[in-house]
Each structure stands twice: as structure tokens, then as C-alpha cells.
Structure 1
């Protein structure tokens, strides 16, 4: 099952996971075509996909218990393609553009939620961890290529930017022909030998503390990383390093670092295992320290690489560990909650920092650095990663129940 075709089918969809960000580069040009529309409304073209994605993450897990995950991915890719391509030829209405943004975001929601489920289903052990790293690298690579090509296409006319979403047709075909058909598990066999329907509420009630701890860790990473990205341009300006262009270059270098870290995660884990999560937060800490103390563009680029490596280590390891502390029947719900919290963390991070009365710029860096250090120390002291990977947190179940459920899965 775990052949090259399956790998291509799984990671190809990851190239569209950040496709909603492509439109952001054309906001200024689009606003000129709609002079009577407030700029805040135009900016919603970048934010509404997040809303569509957030809504879908709430229901995708439950849908995966009734509909083939492959079909849900195909639906997601179709929505991304339609939501992205329609504005290429129907673009005279800002309401229409906004509606397409929601459709596109809904498609991304299906992809980002179902993708880790498939990785957990088709790969085991270190291969699963490695594939999650490759998947994260493909996500960054896809975003970089789509943004670059979209920028070129829309250089003369922003409407042409949307043609970049034609890549969705290729991804659809790759998923259709390379991804195996998965079986939907609608029932499990309880300890009494009776069949029971899979219930989302029942699954949520049966989840153990390690599941929520891992999801909370990903939430904290989202806050720390967003604090860095949202305040980078401010700190760069305060340090006198440069303006928007320099910030863009620093971020671009970091993207390359994330791509290489994703594809090389299996080698990174040889050094960091079983404390990969802790090392991820330490990498974010290194980023914040370097950016805080140095005003050298080269050092800031190195710092950006560390931030991307930290993001990859945490965001690739969290679903891997979640798959180890959840039963197969729980995976759809667990990954749905995980995807929802991930989307929520980046959305809430600026507001949360503001509610704590932490000013923008350097103070936000200090807050994110302290948060990263605390999380890393707690992970190392408690040996949380080692306990998860050793199987100490595998849900307690009757051996007969586990055996019966495995038979159902097969």
C-alpha cells in the first residue's frame, strides 16, 4: 500500500494547503479596480478563505466517518480549483470574488483536515513521521511556487493571477489515480461483541489527556510563530535593517529553510528524537533571540531559517504523535479538532497578545520567546515526547476490543 503512487497521491494535495495566500499579493491592484469599495473589504479576499477553512474543519472529521476520505479530498481540490479559477473570467463583482474566496477556503479546509488522516492511515512508524515532514515541505514549496507564478501571471493584470489555480486540475488527477480508495469505518465492535455506530460525541468523550496536550502544544506554537511573523517587519524597521523589501527577503529565505527541513525531517529526527517538539520550540527561541540582538540582514535570514525549521518540527510531529495516542476510529475526529485549533491559533494570536496588553514589536518577541522557552523546558523535563513514542499513552482498551476493531478496519 505504501508505494510511490500512494506517496504522490498524499503529498500532491499538500501543494494546495496554503493556496489561499496567493491572492494577497494582488490586494493593492484589485482595490484600484474597485475604487468605491473600502480597502478593508478588499482585504477580506485574504481573510475569508480562513473563515471557509475554519468552518469545514469542524465538520470534515465527522464527514470522514461516513464518506471516503479520498472523495473528500477530491471535493476539497475541486472547491479550491473552482473558487480559484472562476474569478479569472468572472471578476466584475467584489461580492462574487469574496464568495469565491470562501469556496476556495472551504476546499483548503477539507485538504488540511483529511491530509493528516491519510498519512496516519497509509504509513507507520518512522516512515509516517518522515512523510509528515515531506508533506510539510511540499506545503511550503507549493505556496512558494503558486505565489511566484501567480505574481508573474498577474503582473500586468491582476485577473490573470487566478489562472494559477489551474494547477488544481493536475492535483485532482494525481489524487484520483494515485491515492488508494479507503474504506469508511461506520461501525466498531464493542467489548461485548456488539456493533456500534461511530459517534463524534462519543469519540470526543473517550479521548485521553495526551491528545488534548498535543493539540494545545500546536496552539501555543501557532501563537509564538505568529507573534514572530506579525512583528518581523516592525522589528526590522526598528533595527534600521530595511523596510518591506528586506522583510520579504528574510521571509523568503525562511521559506526555503522550511522546505529543506520538511524534506529532511527524518534526518533531523535522528538528532532530536524523542524531543523533536521541544527542539521545535527551541528553534523558535533561537529565531527570536537572534532577531532581538542582531541588526545584520544575514543573521536575520539565519534566524528566519530557524523559525521555519521550528514550525516544521512541531507541525509535522504533532499529527504523528496524535496518531500514536489515538485509536484508528478516533483519528478523523482528532485530526479535525487539530486542524480547527491550528486555524484558530493563527487567527487569535494577535488578539490574544493584545488582550495581554503586550505592545507590538520587540515586547511581542520577548513574550513569544518566553513562551517558547517554557514549553520546551516542560516538554524536556516531563519527557512527554519519549513517553508518547514509547507507547506509554496508547489508549487503554480490552485486547479483544482492539483486535475486533482492527478486523473491522481491515
Structure 2
């Protein structure tokens, strides 16, 4: 571990940031109540309160990648948490129109994007080797664990009043205080040996970086299918309704938590083929959805697909930290966060045009397209040995 970091103090700061990373999910259950409060508002605008923050987060991730090369981790964390607190708490007092709520959702998105860029950079700088990889897994497990808490809490509060959902953002004030005391007040520094390597190796590393970032985006394209299609799938096969879909989707979150906790075990089991195994898990999940149609097999498929996505999104940032210098890493991770957000948003469009190529049944065509895309990625990973070369 770098000598400028104090182990437990930095860990407290990291935990404070992971706690609020997915805080915007608390608003999703209140959309119906907001629509009832503003009956004349465009339903699409009301729905965007829960989704427009993703667009702002994508932009902020990219911008903060550059900002973080010029300011300290502490100052960046304070800025991100301040935006998150302002966007989440001001609607308690200012909520006369949907336009105001959309504006504040954008502010929340900017704060979330900043934090998702700071977290991996801070974790990579503070820890080395096996400990760094485990920390990435711990971060993902904690983020998704709290996301489940916020969704459940948001659903409960929405039954009282949609304004109550915004009170949950008070947790950002606690995180802000912890960040002030425990996030290190230093800039990303370059302690790596990348400056000593020759120009050809430098070009090769950037090739690996670009390839891994693109693969990350494709991971989100694949995993987002569960969010976009699960309700339609369960309805089509007469398995259940929206509430059943919500229960099945919880297995995607659960898979992320399990993968985060046991990433060390997965890495030892699959070695340099861990990324390929992750996409293999997605293929198995898609095959289950094609051939077996029950709730529990749907949940199992969701878990397998979620596991594959989580393994990739834990492993790739670790590999990128080996390939990029400490000073460049925030920019790389800002791009990583932005493109994974883009992949999630682009998923529905991707399968809209690829699914018909494989089947007249849109659902079956979607799952076949998932299998084909995953298989192509596996072939690329095995042939190029990207994970092995990046690990070294």
C-alpha cells in the first residue's frame, strides 16, 4: 500500500462514498406518486426524474476523470457529495413543478458521476495487488447492497409521501463529514513503472486499455437486458407480473454482492480466464431463459447473468489500474464509467436491431443475440490473452 495512505482512515472514506453511490435509486418507487401529484405533467417527463440522472452521471464521470488529475481526492469527494446533497435535499423545500424535480435529478446525477469516478481511482491508489482487486470487489458488493436498501426504503417512504423519499439524501451529509476527515487530501500520483517502458509497449498498453473499456460497455449492454426484458419475459410466458419481475431482478443485485465478496475465490478458480468465464455465465443464463420458463429458473438466469456482469466490472478496473499510470488512471476510469453508463442506455436499441436477425420472436432473438455477442467476446479474450497480459 502506498505510504501516503493510512489504511483504516482511507477505508472509512471509501465506505462513505460507496454508501451513497446508488442513492438515486431511492426515487424510482415514487414516480407513480409524483405523477399523481402533477396530473397535468407529461408522463415521460415524470419518468425522467428517475432516469435523467444517468445521463448527467455519464457526462460527469468523463469530466471528473480530468478534474481529478488537478485536484485532491478529498476536494473531489467534497464536490461530488455536495452536488449529491444539494440535488437530493433541495426538493424537500422546492417542489412546485416537475421541471424543478428534473433539474435537481440532474444535479444528483452529476454528484453520482463524480463519486463513481473517484472511488476506483482512490481504491487503486491506496491498495496494491491482491488487496486492490479484493477492494474493487468489496466496493461493488457494498454499492449494490445499499442500492437494494435504498430501493426497499424508497418503496416504503413512497407509500407515505413522495417528498419523504428525498429525506434519505440526508445520509449524504454524514458521508460528507466522513469524507472531510478520512478521504486523503492528496492528488493521484504516479508511482508505477510505466514511464520506463518503451514507446511500443506504451502503444500496446493503450490498445489493451481501449479494448477493456469497450468490453466493459458491452457488459452493460448484455446485463441491461434483464432490466429491459424481465417483465416482458415473465408476462409472455405467464409466469408473473411486475412485482414478480421485481423479485427476479433482485437476483441480479444479489449476484453482484456475491461476486464482490467472493471475487478472490473466483479469480483463483479461473485464473487468467476469469473474464471469459464471466461471459460464459451470461451464455448459460441466456440459454436457461430460452429453454426453461419458470420463476426460479428465471431468477437463476438473472443471477448467472448478473454474476457474469459483476465479475467483469470488478476485474476490468483492476486490470486497467495495472495498465494505466496513477496520474492517467482517473481519466481512464472516468471514460470507463461514462461508457458503461452509455452501454446500459444503449442496450435496448442494440437488441432492437439485432434480435430480429436471429428470431421472429423478439425475446428469443434477444437471448440468442446475447449468446452470440458473449461468444465473440470470449473468443477475443482467449485468442488475445488480454487478461493475462494485463495482469502482468
- Contact between 2:92 and 2:167, CA under 8 Å: does it hold in 1? yes
Q: Does 1:12 align with 2:10?
A: no
Note the aligned Cα RMSD (angstroms).
2.2
Taking structure 1 as reference, are residues 287 and 102 closer, same or farther at Cα in structure 2, changes over 3 Å only?
same
Moved more, 356-365 or 132-141: 356-365
1:136-192 Cα distance to aligned partner (Å, 9 max, x none): 111101111111122222212111111111111122122222222223559x9x989
Q: Give 1:228 shift.
A: 3.2
- Contact between 1:15 and 1:140, CA under 8 Å: does it hold in 2? no
Tell me the matched-pair count.
377
Which of 99, 108, 111 matches 1:107? 111
Where does the alignment leave 5 or more consecutive residues of structure 2 unmatched? 197-201
Q: Does 1:126 align with 2:130?
A: yes
Matches of 1:328 and 1:41, distance apart in 2: 41
Q: Give 1:377 shift.
A: 2.9
Q: Give 1:253 shift.
A: 2.8
Matches of 2:186 and 2:384, distance apart in 1: 37
Q: Which residue of 1 aligns with 2:162?
A: 158
Matches of 1:357 and 1:274, distance apart in 2: 31
Q: Does 1:58 align with 2:56?
A: no
Moved over 4 A (4+): 204-207
Matches of 2:195 and 2:214, distance apart in 1: 31
Q: Which residue of 2 aligns with 1:35?
A: 39
Q: Give 1:65 shift.
A: 1.5
- Contact between 1:228 and 1:288, CA under 8 Å: does it hold in 2? no
Q: Does 1:44 align with 2:48?
A: yes
1:266-286 Cα distance to aligned partner (Å, 9 max, x none): 122111222221111111112
Moved more, 367-376 or 34-43: 367-376
Q: Which residue of 1 aligns with 2:374?
A: 372
Moved more, 150-159 or 355-364: 355-364
**SS class of match (1:370):** helix
1:261-307 Cα distance to aligned partner (Å, 9 max, x none): 21221122111222221111111112111122111222222222212
Matches of 1:254 and 1:341, distance apart in 2: 20
Q: Which residue of 1 aligns with 2:102?
A: 98
- Contact between 2:70 and 2:187, CA under 8 Å: does it hold in 1? no
Matches of 2:284 and 2:59, distance apart in 1: 34
1:184-218 Cα distance to aligned partner (Å, 9 max, x none): 559x9x989xxxxxxxxxxx999620000000110
1:317-371 Cα distance to aligned partner (Å, 9 max, x none): 1110001111222112111111111111111121222244637422111111211
Q: Which residue of 2 aligns with 1:344?
A: 342
Q: Give 1:14 shift.
A: 1.7
Where does the alignment leave 5 or more consecutive residues of structure 1 unmatched? 193-203, 392-410
Taking structure 1 as reference, are residues 241 and 191 closer, same or farther at Cα in structure 2, changes over 3 Å only?
closer
Matches of 2:310 and 2:252, distance apart in 1: 11
Moved more, 6-15 or 355-364: 355-364
Q: Which residue of 2 aligns with 1:198?
A: none
Which of 246, 258, 261 matches 1:248? 246
**Structure 1-normalised TM-score?**
0.87
Q: Which has the higher helix share?
A: 2
- Contact between 1:138 and 1:259, CA under 8 Å: does it hold in 2? yes
Matches of 2:16 and 2:302, distance apart in 1: 26
